[in-house]
Structure 1
Amino acid sequence: MSHQRETWGGRAAFIVAAISSAIGLGNIWRFPGVAFENGGGAFLIPYLVAFVTAGLPILFLDYSIGHRYRAAPPLAFRRLDRRVEPLGWWQVGVSYLILTYYAVVIAWALSFFWFSFGRQWGDDAAAFFVNDYLRVSESAGLTADFVPGVLVTLLVVWIAAIVVMSLGLRRGLDRANKITLPLLVAVFTILVVYSLSLPGAWDGVNQFFAPDFAALADPTVWIAAYGHIFFSFSIAFGIMLTYSSYMRRRSDLTGSGLVVAFANCSFEILAGIGVFAALGFLAHSQGTEIAGLEGISGPILAFVTFPTLLTEMPGGAIMSVLFFGSLLLAGFTSLLSIYQVVAGAVQDKTGWGSRRTAVTVGILTGVPSVLLFSATSGLNVLDVLDAFVNNIGVTFSAVVMLVLTAWVLRAIPQLSRHLNAISSFRVGRFWRAMVSVVTPVVLGVILVSGATAYIRDGYGEYPSWFVALVGWGSIAFLAVFSFAMSYRRYRRDDAEEFTADDPEELAGEPQARGARGAGESGPEADEGRS
């Protein structure tokens, strides 16, 4: 059955989409806190090292696989070598789990955007968020006591996402990104500029950048830098691989990747300045240090610390709307990119159209999302699930992908040729060394240390049965899902008839292609032509 795969409207559309995916909630509420807690300005050194040795190499690897094999992760890895299709479904499973709980955070942002009109959280933002809004259950466990405020906004988020995704790549995702990304940058820039004008703001910025070079001797600081770069770039769990598969046949992959990477890092620095300028004002008004504030990262920063700040800030009502509007925009564009990973994989597997796929995936993901995260136990489930999916699921995906492509399939040379055939920035020995040796070793250490800590110490103060059910249960789900889906046959004939583009032809040096089946489109076939 012939199939015409959708493509982005052009290079600019891809870059906007990739930047929209990379710039998410973590840029605003995670990076500033991670940097502050790991050496301040000195943290920028391991951050930049991780950017060069892990962020860019894996980003380019994702691009090369997605663009060369023209599919979402499962089919792309199958076309590389049919034996590694389960890795693709593992990445889809990771995206599916993230999708279920990422939506609820956007629902919180939507609620607080509404609460901003009148600053309804009052004088005690912590009590309002935990007790009045989320109504968090006192003990860990799954409950069926639903919170109407969360339930309604979560349904709104899912309906909006399904509508956008049903319109397809260009009419839906592309158009949404072109509206939301410029709006996000404009709104957040206004927020940063205003925050810098407040009393104590520059004290906060100075604390953010003040270097503690002694922290560089602590291995955990370097692990934190690699961990943040890894998640910040939206790499190794299918997003960038899927997005690059929709790029046109001749596209500047590495040049586009550099634009995306530097845009993401620039926004993180901007977010750090804005957040710590605001925190500096809050500390100044309360007569304390930033380190003494209740929360400087994560949901506590967004939904407790910042509401407290916005209550005391001159013009806080307007700034509240701008801040939670920024969270809403950043989160929604990232949600769409995660959604596309799952939808793209299902579409490849079934041959369905974009509308049927979007609605089916939306229902199969939205229903458990609403049931799990609009209940009073939702915050506890989200906390444990997020930790295990990111620290174990995503890191495991990256390590396995690097080991398989570099050491088992020895596909790095052919992927390097593919990148260089069409890109303005050529990769060479340094890139091959990073993806073959340095990055898998570093991420392997992070994976082993993280898993060992969870096994030995559990997670947080949650009971062991709850961590086992939600945390390790999610990892077990990924393992079963990845192999179960790999046994299902593809309905489209092009799963078996695909032939990867020849790098020499892409470079403008025609060479006759042999008729190859899917089993011959892997590294072995290319090594015979190199």
Structure 2
Amino acid sequence: MVTDTDGMPAEEKKRGAFSSRRVFILAAIGSAVGLGNIWRFPYVAYDNGGGAFMIPYIVALLTAGLPFLMLDYGMGHRNRGSAPLSFARISRKGEPLGWWQVAICFVIAIYYAAIIGWASVYAIFSFDKSWGDDPATYFSVDFLEGGDPGISLDFVNGLLIPLVIVWVVLLVIMAMGVQKGIGMLSVIFIPILVVAFVALVVQALFLDGAGDGLNALFTPDWDALSNTDVWIAAYGQIFFSLSVGFGIMITYSAYVDRRENMTGSGLVVGFANSGFELLAGIGVFAALGFIASSTGGDPGEAAQGGGIGLAFIAFPTIINEAPAGAVLGVLFFVSLVIAGITSLISVIEVVIASVRDKFELPRIAAVLVVGVPAAIASVLLFSTTTSLYSLDIIDNFINQFGILLVAVVSMLALAWAFRVVPALAAHLNRNGSLKLGWVWRALVSVITPAALIWVLVDQFRKNIETTYGEGAYPDWMVNTLGWGVAGGVIVVGLLAALIPWRRQTSLEVPEEAPIDQPEEDVR
């Protein structure tokens, strides 16, 4: 193995690395803590048993979230590569799984940037409450200039300009590299995110009606535990919030020193992510309790199903009525921007790292090759009058039938086709404070795939029984941006794997972590 003068393998020094375990942990937390933690978890918990939901949530964390996180860490840290390279170093037959994950990340990046752009504008709007007395109408009519569902090229300047700015900032960060860009951003902004959100929670707790909101969130409905949909919701929430299964943690863990304690880091990341979700639930529902007490409504109804409605309609309504509402608004939307950007850089890094590995490109060249097409696609789809409709469809299908499906397939392939799970456990156990034994192997080989298949089949059944959007979108749009995109990323994965690797790229597993497989399986 060729090494540089400081002892670091030359290949790894060229690719980049996090300078310390602390930087890696902050970057991984930044990836895991995203928009879903703030606007999805509170409503999911409320709608699935309140306080009782914490039982299936914790079970899902321990039996699916953390085990899968360790699996991703083992793949990247042991094989020292992006998702496609890590899979290819196990077996060339597994390489399409890595590119499938890359394609999913590309799709997510193009709409995630749009939401960050919206949140950044709304942070500015918070100062003078630009949305007026009717935030719902302002968001859909004045801000988005929403037209009829369909793919439109009627651009909206209020969406176009912030989206372009987001992409310029993102590409500059990515061009700076793993440590100076991703690592430094995480070191600075994750503490800022925590401070900002704690400040928001404290302010929300002092609002009139905050106690009613917390009662609505945490009052347990024990009957919900007998409802399979509640358990499905718990597994789905844990899975999506931890950024596992679609290449992010494989990519990040490859940037960590070979001697680091990866299982200990995984525990920190997993519990930090869940802790932030709980904090988000407290802050959001304390604020929703305030608006419900003002209008005589219900805190859960005020959330309007979470997501876009919670962020851009319910919270502006709260800001209009709350004392020092401008401060509350700035804290909320700045938190969304920071959580979004730290997640977005991890998503786009999956694509950049994979292109660099495959074609031996310098970092800046890879950033441009990936970033410019992504930015163009993002602008064309999400700065027009039909941006919200496109976002809603793509987000639903790429999450349910992209991320979930590739996670199940890759987990089963690693466990039963390539039989590499014991080798990954052995690698993580070398320096890990948490030793992975037969329980972990059983979880990632049988129990976690079974749970995710359960979630996947349930979602597929619902989408077959009722067309997504229930008639709000034309069928061609659902079929193109929904099923078409979910199927398209699979095709991209298969085609990308046909492109030969550069000769300089070794498909051998690094010597420090030999693989227990026949020679022909790793070439």
Asked if TM exceeds 0.5, the reply is yes
Pick closer, same or farther for the CA change 1:518–1:274 going to 2, 3 Å: farther
- Output the amino acid matched with 1:491: R
Counterpart residue number, 1:368: 377
Aligned-residue offset at 1:288: 2.0
Pick closer, same or farther for the CA change 1:478–1:296 going to 2, 3 Å: closer
The answer (yes or no) to whether the contact 1:350–1:492 under 8 Å persists in 2 is no
The answer (yes or no) to whether the contact 2:357–2:505 under 8 Å persists in 1 is no
Q: 257, 260, 271: which one pairs with 1:262?
A: 271
SS at match of 1:270: helix
1:39 paired to 2:42 = no
Tell me the distance in 2 between the aligned counterparts of 1:518 and 1:361. 33
Q: 65, 70, 80: which one pairs with 2:75?
A: 65
Counterpart residue number, 2:193: 184
Tell me the distance in 2 between the aligned counterparts of 1:517 and 1:67. 21
Pick closer, same or farther for the CA change 1:147–1:214 going to 2, 3 Å: same
Tell me the distance in 1 between the aligned counterparts of 2:453 and 2:356. 32
The answer (yes or no) to whether the contact 2:205–2:286 under 8 Å persists in 1 is yes
Cα deviation code 1:53-85 (max 9, x no counterpart): 000010000000011100111010000111110
1:496 paired to 2:470 = no
Q: 321, 325, 330: which one pairs with 2:339?
A: 330
Cα deviation code 1:418-448 (max 9, x no counterpart): 1111111101111111111111111112212
1:417 paired to 2:426 = yes
1:25 paired to 2:35 = yes
- Output the amino acid matched with 1:99: A
SS at match of 1:314: coil
* Contiguous gaps of at least 5 residues in structure 1: 504-512, 523-530
- Output the amino acid matched with 2:155: F
Aligned-residue offset at 1:245: 0.7
Counterpart residue number, 2:145: 135
Q: 245, 257, 272: which one pairs with 1:248?
A: 257
The answer (yes or no) to whether the contact 2:43–2:303 under 8 Å persists in 1 is no
Counterpart residue number, 2:122: 112
How do 1:320-469 and structure 2 match up within 5 A? 320-461=329-470, 462-469=473-480
Pick closer, same or farther for the CA change 1:69–1:308 going to 2, 3 Å: same
Tell me the distance in 2 between the aligned counterparts of 1:267 and 1:402. 27
Counterpart residue number, 1:318: 327
Aligned-residue offset at 1:372: 0.5
SS at match of 2:207: coil
Tell me the distance in 1 between the aligned counterparts of 2:355 and 2:399. 22
Aligned-residue offset at 1:497: 4.6
Tell me the distance in 2 between the aligned counterparts of 1:107 and 1:500. 44
Counterpart residue number, 1:123: 133
Aligned-residue offset at 1:319: 1.4
1:98 paired to 2:108 = yes
1:285 paired to 2:318 = no
Cα deviation code 1:372-391 (max 9, x no counterpart): 01011111011010010000
1:475 paired to 2:486 = yes
Tell me the distance in 2 between the aligned counterparts of 1:252 and 1:11. 8
- Output the amino acid matched with 1:213: W
The answer (yes or no) to whether the contact 1:499–1:517 under 8 Å persists in 2 is no
The answer (yes or no) to whether the contact 2:96–2:494 under 8 Å persists in 1 is yes
The answer (yes or no) to whether the contact 1:82–1:519 under 8 Å persists in 2 is no
Pick closer, same or farther for the CA change 1:246–1:315 going to 2, 3 Å: same
- Output the amino acid matched with 1:416: A
Tell me the distance in 1 between the aligned counterparts of 2:63 and 2:242. 13
Counterpart residue number, 1:83: 93
The answer (yes or no) to whether the contact 1:46–1:222 under 8 Å persists in 2 is yes
- Output the amino acid matched with 1:60: M
Counterpart residue number, 2:7: none
Aligned-residue offset at 1:131: 0.4
Q: 218, 222, 237: which one pairs with 1:213?
A: 222
Aligned-residue offset at 1:218: 0.6
How do 1:43-58 and structure 2 match up within 5 A? 43-58=53-68
The answer (yes or no) to whether the contact 2:72–2:250 under 8 Å persists in 1 is yes
Tell me the distance in 1 between the aligned counterparts of 2:182 and 2:210. 37
Alignment: residue pair count? 511
- Output the amino acid matched with 1:495: S
Aligned-residue offset at 1:355: 1.3
Q: Give the alignment's Cα RMSD to 1 decimal.
A: 1.7
The answer (yes or no) to whether the contact 1:296–1:305 under 8 Å persists in 2 is no
Tell me the distance in 2 between the aligned counterparts of 1:365 and 1:54. 31
Tell me the distance in 1 between the aligned counterparts of 2:216 and 2:58. 19
The answer (yes or no) to whether the contact 2:140–2:146 under 8 Å persists in 1 is yes
SS at match of 1:80: coil
Q: 157, 163, 168: which one pairs with 1:148?
A: 157
User: Which deviates the most, 17-26 or 351-360?
Assistant: 351-360
The TM-score with structure 1 as length reference comes to: 0.94
Tell me the distance in 2 between the aligned counterparts of 1:517 and 1:106. 47
Tell me the distance in 1 between the aligned counterparts of 2:120 and 2:302. 25
SS at match of 1:494: coil
How do 1:483-522 and structure 2 match up within 5 A? 483-502=494-513, 519=520, 521=522
The answer (yes or no) to whether the contact 1:255–1:425 under 8 Å persists in 2 is yes
Q: 18, 21, 25: which one pairs with 1:15?
A: 25
Tell me the distance in 2 between the aligned counterparts of 1:397 and 1:518. 26
Counterpart residue number, 1:527: none
SS at match of 1:44: helix
Tell me the distance in 1 between the aligned counterparts of 2:73 and 2:132. 47
- Output the amino acid matched with 2:446: V
Counterpart residue number, 2:204: 195
Q: 168, 177, 192: which one pairs with 1:168?
A: 177
Tell me the distance in 1 between the aligned counterparts of 2:413 and 2:330. 47
Tell me the distance in 2 between the aligned counterparts of 1:518 and 1:152. 53
The TM-score with structure 2 as length reference comes to: 0.95
Pick closer, same or farther for the CA change 1:94–1:422 going to 2, 3 Å: same
* Contiguous gaps of at least 5 residues in structure 2: 3-9
Aligned-residue offset at 1:465: 1.6
Tell me the distance in 2 between the aligned counterparts of 1:446 and 1:473. 21
- Output the amino acid matched with 1:494: T
Report the identity percentage.
47
Pick closer, same or farther for the CA change 1:519–1:70 going to 2, 3 Å: farther
Tell me the distance in 1 between the aligned counterparts of 2:170 and 2:220. 42
The answer (yes or no) to whether the contact 2:216–2:300 under 8 Å persists in 1 is no
The answer (yes or no) to whether the contact 2:43–2:300 under 8 Å persists in 1 is no
